[in-house]
A and B are shown apart, each in its own frame.
Chain A
Amino acid sequence: MLELRDISKRFGAVQANDRVSFKVETGTIHAIVGENGAGKSTIMRIAYGFYTADSGDILVEGQVRQISRPHDAIALGIGMVHQHFMLVDTMTVAENIVLGAEPGSAFALDLNTAAQRIRSLSEEFKLSVDPNAVIENLSVGQQQRVELLKALYRNARLLILDEPTAVLTPQEVDEFFVILRGMREQGKTIVIITHKLSEVLAISDEVTVMRDGKVVGNVQTKDTNAAELARLMVGREVLLRVEKPEAHVGEPRLKLNNFSVSATDGGKRVNQVSFEVRAGEIVGIAGVEGNGQTELIEALAGLVPASQLSGSISFEGHDITNEGARSRRERGIAHIPEDRHRRGLLLEFSLAENSILGVHYRPPVTSLGNIMLDNAAIQRRVNEIIQGFDVRPANSELPARALSGGNQQKLIIGREFKLNPKLLLVSQPTRGVDIGAIEFIHRKLVALRDAGCAVLLVSAELEEVTSLADRLLIIHKGNIVGEVDPKVATIEEIGLLMTRGH
């Protein structure tokens, strides 16, 4: 159906694609995997006409074709659904689908014909959605169906999907896979760009692995496994499930008692939550994003005004409910934030200046009467973090913005670990982080636990939270709806608690 032959593309100093070649067979689901920066999005954008390759050919059904803009791709039957949806929130489903291909004349937009066609496509591909619904009222899963319909409306025979499951709940992912299989039965060809190995194994027929702009592997899904794919993606053996010795649990460090967090509009985001975290254990909180985890961690870190809190938080026996972020850090509570760009880093500042955020006001960072910053001490500190946490490039004067997501995260983790914390609050530690760095971060978290720290881990990645946590709590609509033993609980069990609350 689609063949890419020796495609190369350079952006400035970066060779994004280096003689990339692979074939996508008609009527299959083909996965393209690789770490961030491997070149997988670039190659498919070339196939869709967003970029033009420097060299190489694109063959559609055996014929070499010029695809210089998406219009050409669409004319050839290629459609693309992007990771960040391109929908107009205030318009209806039908209006969005026909945008750019409106039926009727310039004076009389014929939405009825459109709506009819949309309905028949919906039925054919089991993409149920109301053509008259307004986008901003739809769930993410429904919006994704609109994006799929957009492509199908334009008679796409090959659909390129960029990280389609990034925003879906486990339930929605299952439904999505059913839709994909249905499309395949109908003769459509599907290309999925993803980094989630478990999904690749679940849904695809064939996998192409990319690394550093090159194709490093091309296998039939049934002939491979996660370990092999990971090894191809990273270039070395990767431990997918971190080895964890038994936990040596000590006394409780953090205790929440009927703790609630309200939002500025008055609604309760965290509702009467009570649990504790003990030294030497990792307590995980699993849940679909948006169920109060963000607010819970921010409140525990001291970043939510006291007026929005009720109930109590106690740390090592002291009530810290009304204490601010600085004094919590002084007590030994470290925080690896969910949003590293917004909370965790000063992107325009150097790595050195970022390494002292949170401890910048006291020795050893300061000297001379606790006013001046001690540059030598800062340099020592940032170098220790860079070495100890493998931050690359190892240049402390670079602005934090210049680092990749994984390296930024390692810097933040190194900075927080340097506090020798007694309690670590960590949220989505490996979001947007490459597989190689994920393994590293997981090992560091377990090591911290073994050194006696109490860890509260929030993650939307079930694999991660079940492999790291010693105890697993599930959060739903702001309530803790269950506690399970991650060693024995099944994904289904946890998934149900996450989506239904019981």
Chain B
Amino acid sequence: MKLLRELIFPLMAVLAAFIVGGILILLIGDNPIQAYKLLIFSALSWPDGIGYTLFHATPLIFTGLAVLVAFRCGLLNIGVEGQLYVAAFAAAWVGITMSQRSAWILVPLCFVAAIFAGGVWGAIPGVLKARFGSHEVINTIMLNFIGIALISYFVQYHYKVPGDPIMQSSEIGKGAHIARLGKFIPGLPERIPLNLAFLLALLCCVLVYYFLWRTKWGYELRSTGASPTAAEYGGISIRKQIVIAMTISGALAGMVGINEVMGYRYRYYDGFSDNYGFTGIAVALLGRNHPFGVIIAALLFGVLQHGGIYVDGFSEHVTKDIVQVLQGTIIIFVAAEAFFRGQFENFSLFKQSKV
């Protein structure tokens, strides 16, 4: 019963968004039912539809988890974008530098690099907040710029293939490749980039769930987000929780790099992220800040992402920007509901910051 209540609001938000989008489509001269049919069926076709949809959903699961872990500690991590770029580059760097190594060594090392780099990039604003009380929203946004610019510099001047006009690094070693799911699933061609990182994402959902609700560390993190004063009373160190939450958040964001660099392009490609970090915020909100909700929300956004491309190609007037409209409208409705439900109380640490 409680679960039903939790699901109702996001469902209504999505429905409302589709209605608003439908009106927009009507206004620009296309048939909304047609457009939506195209969108949904193209996203759910086999093998291309489902394959690409799940592939698009993978980074959103990671970023959704990243945002949700921070949320649960009362923190707003707007730096997921920067964290995932830094981590992707770290994975690529290891993959390039040690390209001769075998998969047994290289795959774990690249994993560690991505997770570690993302974790560090998340820990920085965490420490700044814990130590100085400075606002994580500002610091994470700033670090986005810094991180992305730094990595661009490295790629442009040090890691690009000489003569290559595209802003991308050289290839990583074969040992750092992780398998496409097409290798194991009959009927799914390997040209579709859906790879093992998707399974890793699902595993992370389970791990995050267990961490937050079944371990004492998760209890401390959630308590800090729910009521820092009560958590302090209970002997929990708020500062420690802030750093831990931001580090874990960054580490989860970093795993996007695994999907992108090790499972798809096999190199670092500048600008590879289609706003994954920011969409992660919408995914977390729509998923009610719960790992299993994040899966569903990420799948929905994945459907929109892939379906949008088709709608763009096969509609007279509708472009793939309709996806942005739908995403944005969903966010507005979900945020409005969260506001009314008093969920912004969860940003208690948000309020306590001295900027």
Contact = CB atoms under 8 A, between A and B. Distances in A.
B201 to A, nearest CB: 23
B230 A326 contact: no
A346 B230 CA distance: 6
Contacts of A366: 216
Interface in A230-250: none
A303 B216 contact: no
B229 interface: yes
A361 B227 contact: no
Given A371-B217, A373-B214, A357 B223 contact: yes
A161 to B, nearest CB: 31
Interface residues of B, number: 19
Interface string B222-238: 11001101111111110
A488 B209 CA distance: 59
Interface in B208-226: 214-217, 219-220, 222-223, 226
Contacts of A353: 219
Given A371-B216, A373-B216, A349 B226 contact: yes
A61 B264 CA distance: 84
A342 B235 contact: no
Given A360-B216, A373-B219, A324 B227 contact: no
A411 B235 CA distance: 18
B227 A342 contact: yes
Interface string A177-200: 000000000000000000000000
A335 interface: yes
Contacts of A373: 214-216, 219
B220 A344 contact: no
Contacts of B237: 324
Contact of A303 (B214, B217, B227, B232): B232
A327 B237 CA distance: 12
A365 B233 CA distance: 18
B227 A346 contact: yes
A329 interface: yes
Contact of A347 (B216, B219, B227): B227
B233 A335 contact: yes
Contacts of B236: 326
Among the interface residues A301, A327, A349, which one has the most CB atoms of the partner chain B within 10 A? Answer: A349
Interface residues of A, number: 29
Among the interface residues B215, B220, B234, which one has the most CB atoms of the partner chain A within 10 A? Answer: B234
Contact of A345 (B215, B222, B230, B232): B230
A325 B233 contact: yes
Given A324-B235, A326-B235, A349-B223, A361 B216 contact: yes
Among the interface residues B227, B230, B232, which one has the most CB atoms of the partner chain A within 10 A? Answer: B230
B223 A346 contact: yes
Contacts of B229: 342-343
Interface string A365-397: 110001111000000000000000000000000
A357 B237 CA distance: 13
Interface string A248-269: 0000000000000000000000
A324 B223 CA distance: 18
Given A348-B226, A349-B226, A373-B215, A361 B220 contact: yes
A348 B222 CA distance: 11
A358 interface: yes
A371 B215 contact: yes
Interface in A46-104: none
A346 B235 contact: no
Contacts of B223: 346, 349, 357
B214 A372 contact: yes
B235 to A, nearest CB: 3
Nearest to A343: B233
Nearest to A324: B235
Contacts of A34: none
B40 to A, nearest CB: 36
A234 to B, nearest CB: 30
B174 to A, nearest CB: 38
Given A360-B216, A360-B219, A361-B216, A329 B235 contact: yes
Contacts of B232: 303, 325, 343
A337 interface: yes
Contact of A301 (B214, B215, B233): B233
A337 B222 CA distance: 21
A371 B230 CA distance: 21
B216 A357 contact: no
A357 B226 contact: no
A343 B230 contact: yes
A357 B217 CA distance: 13
B341 to A, nearest CB: 11
Nearest to A330: B235
A210 B215 CA distance: 47
B219 A344 contact: no
A78 to B, nearest CB: 34
Contact of B230 (A301, A356, A357, A361): A357
A335 to B, nearest CB: 7
Interface in B85-143: none
A285 B217 CA distance: 37
Contacts of B215: 371-373
B223 to A, nearest CB: 6
A288 B237 CA distance: 32
Contacts of A344: 230, 233
Among the interface residues B232, B235, B237, which one has the most CB atoms of the partner chain A within 10 A? Answer: B235
Interface in B177-235: 214-217, 219-220, 222-223, 226-227, 229-235
Contacts of A361: 216, 220, 235
A336 to B, nearest CB: 11
Contacts of A324: 235, 237
Contacts of A372: 214-216
B310 to A, nearest CB: 42
Contacts of A357: 223, 230, 233-234
Contacts of B231: 346
A358 B235 contact: yes
A59 B47 CA distance: 77
B230 A325 contact: no
A363 to B, nearest CB: 10
Contacts of A335: 233
Nearest to B2: A397
A347 to B, nearest CB: 7
Contacts of B226: 346-349
B4 to A, nearest CB: 16
Contacts of A325: 232-235
Contacts of B222: 349
Nearest to A326: B235
A342 to B, nearest CB: 5
A8 B227 CA distance: 38
A337 B219 CA distance: 21
Contacts of B219: 353, 356, 360, 373
6 smallest A-B Cβ distances: which pairs? A326-B235, A357-B234, A343-B233, A358-B234, A325-B235, A346-B226
29 contacts: A301-B233, A303-B232, A303-B233, A325-B234, A326-B235, A326-B236, A337-B233, A342-B227, A342-B230, A343-B229, A343-B230, A344-B230, A345-B227, A347-B227, A348-B226, A349-B226, A356-B219, A357-B223, A357-B230, A357-B233, A357-B234, A358-B234, A360-B216, A360-B220, A361-B216, A370-B216, A371-B215, A371-B216, A373-B216
Given A324-B237, A343-B229, A357-B234, 19 more contacts: A301-B233, A303-B233, A325-B235, A326-B236, A335-B233, A343-B230, A343-B233, A344-B233, A345-B227, A345-B230, A346-B223, A349-B226, A357-B223, A370-B216, A371-B216, A372-B215, A372-B216, A373-B214, A373-B219
